[in-house]
Amino acid sequence: MNGAARTSTRDIARAAVRAELAQVAFDLFLREGFDKVTINDLAAAAGVSRSTFLRYFGSKEEAALSAFDAQGDLVADALRARPADEDDWTALRRALDTVIEHYHQDPAGALATTRLVQNTPALCARHLEKQHGWRPTLAQALAERAGAPQPPPLALSVKAAAALDCLNIAIDHWTASDGRLHLVDLLDEAFAALAPR
């Protein structure tokens, strides 16, 4: 076995353990409430030591929000893959389908996750901070599509920020409806409100 294969196998195993720990943490947060659960509680529920848990997650917030870690890069990749002749706003809207796909696959789980984040100030703040970090990535993807100069122009950063706000508002309305409203329709409506006329 060569070094690349070992690294790949190690990375796969690490990702699997991380996903399992995150699921245990999420289940405990739902049952007990985020603020009542300690790192020691999480480690005990997962059957690992505190230091092992902290090797995978540096904080409770990180464990709770790990499902969102890759979303910014996924949206940026989807954005780069959009047709070159598609306008930026449409491309952003379509690229966000990668985020809302989870809401279609597991509506009950997505609703529980969203409520946990919305109802926990520390998680809400950390989630918004993560999304804020997606803005430069999305602006960069828009610039690459257009062959724009680097760093991306201000207008592309504004479009990326507005798209993420549309996503958050659509998810807020979807959550308030207990998942009864169709998230795609809500996101389309939010984007339409800011569409160039």
Q: Indicate the domain borders of the chain.
A: 3-60, 70-194
pLDDT confidence of residue 4: 52
Q: For residue range 24-37, what is the model confidence (pLDDT) as tens digits?
A: 999 999 899 999 99
pLDDT confidence of residue 47: 94
Mean pLDDT of 87-113: 93
Q: Distance of CA 166 to CAs 37, 95, 145, Å?
A: 32, 13, 21
pLDDT confidence of residue 1: 47
**pLDDT band at 66, cuts 50/70/90?**
confident
Q: For residue range 171-180, what is the model confidence (pLDDT) as tens digits?
A: 999 999 999 9
* Average confidence score pLDDT of the chain: 91
Residue 127: in which H helix or E strand, if any? Answer: helix 121-146
**Percentage of the chain surpassing pLDDT 70?**
96
**Percentage of the chain surpassing pLDDT 90?**
74
- Name the superfamily (CATH) of residues 70-194: Tetracycline Repressor, domain 2 (1.10.357.10)
How is residue 151 annotated by DSSP?
Answer: S
Question: Is the four-CA dihedral 33, 42, 16, 59 of positive or negative sign?
Answer: positive
- Predicted TM-score (pTM) of this structure: 0.85
Q: Is the pLDDT of residue 3 over 90?
A: no
Q: For residue range 124-175, what is the model confidence (pLDDT) as tens digits?
A: 999 999 999 999 999 999 999 888 767 888 999 999 999 999 999 999 999 9
Q: What span, in angstroms and rounded, lies between the C-alpha atoms of 76 and 98?
A: 10
Domain 3-60's class? Answer: mainly alpha
Q: Is the pLDDT of residue 6 over 70?
A: no
Cα angle, residue 75 at apex, residues 92 and 193 outer, rounded to 5°: 30
